[in-house]
Amino acid sequence: MKKITIAIDGFSSCGKSTMAKDLAREIGYIYIDSGAMYRAVTLYSLRNGIFHNGDIDTEKLKAEMNNIHISFRLNPETGKPDTYLNEVNVEKDIRTMEVSSHVSPIAALDFVREALVARQQEMGKEKGIVMDGRDIGTTVFPDAELKVFVTASPEIRAQRRYDELKAKGEEASYDEILENVKQRDYIDQHREVSPLRKADDALLLDNSHLTIAEQKAWLADQFAKVTAEA
Ligand code: DC
């Protein structure tokens, strides 16, 4: 069967990655979490003196972009891809609150986006890819055969993030997470370069009241429809 490109965009913490990852595994496609790439650049910046009291030294980061190598490798234990920064597994380190609260300004920098979008397009040039993020259907793969835009209320998304962190045994405050979710929504939607928006030809999925199994079934259905037409 001819392989297609699948773009899944939407707000933070609305279960995009879970459904994208599961679909990719079931249909034998590559899965790329583009948010992990922005998080890896943020982690690098936090560890390499690019942040000064919350301000970003953009000249230093620009000069160092070529030293930031991000890759994904399948973790045989979880069956899911882990993120590597310069050959070191940073999957856990990029999911902390510290990275979450510094990532939006990094993702708003035009030279960071240009570099990461180019890498993402390279990864998808053979098709057979499911990529999730904010600008996949609008900027990275505007010609994707299947585009989905996922949304859910901020309160529901904060609760999901809270449950996720708790399940991993990490400290979490619901109010802090809700504040972070709302702040990121605002920055993601209002930044100048590639703001978060639904592509005109994307299917809208509000999963506020869907279980993970229901969203997975919905996505599998959309995939079946698109590939039957191709
Ligand atoms: O999906 P996530 O929460 O892991 O994404 C982390 C941040 O990266 C989020 O604040 C928005 C940004 N991002 C982006 O600007 N473009 C993408 N394609 C993916 C993520």
- The per-residue pLDDT for range 23-42, each reduced to its tens digit, is 999 999 999 999 999 999 99
Structure tokens at 50: 């690019």
Beta strands of 60-156 (E only): which ranges?
Answer: 70-75, 80-85, 88-89, 129-133, 146-151
pTM: 0.91
Q: Which is the closest atom of ligand 1 to the Cα of 13?
A: 3
**Angle, CA of 59, 37 and 220, to the nearest 5°:** 155
Ligand 1 mean position, distance from CA 180 (Å): 13
189's enclosing H/E stretch is helix 174-190
Residue 228 is predicted with a pLDDT of 92
Ligand 1 mean position, distance from CA 103 (Å): 8
Three-state secondary-structure class, residue 68: coil
Burial class (CB within 10 angstroms; exposed 0-12, middle 13-18, buried 19+) of 87? exposed
What would the mean pLDDT of 180-197 be, rounded to a whole number?
88
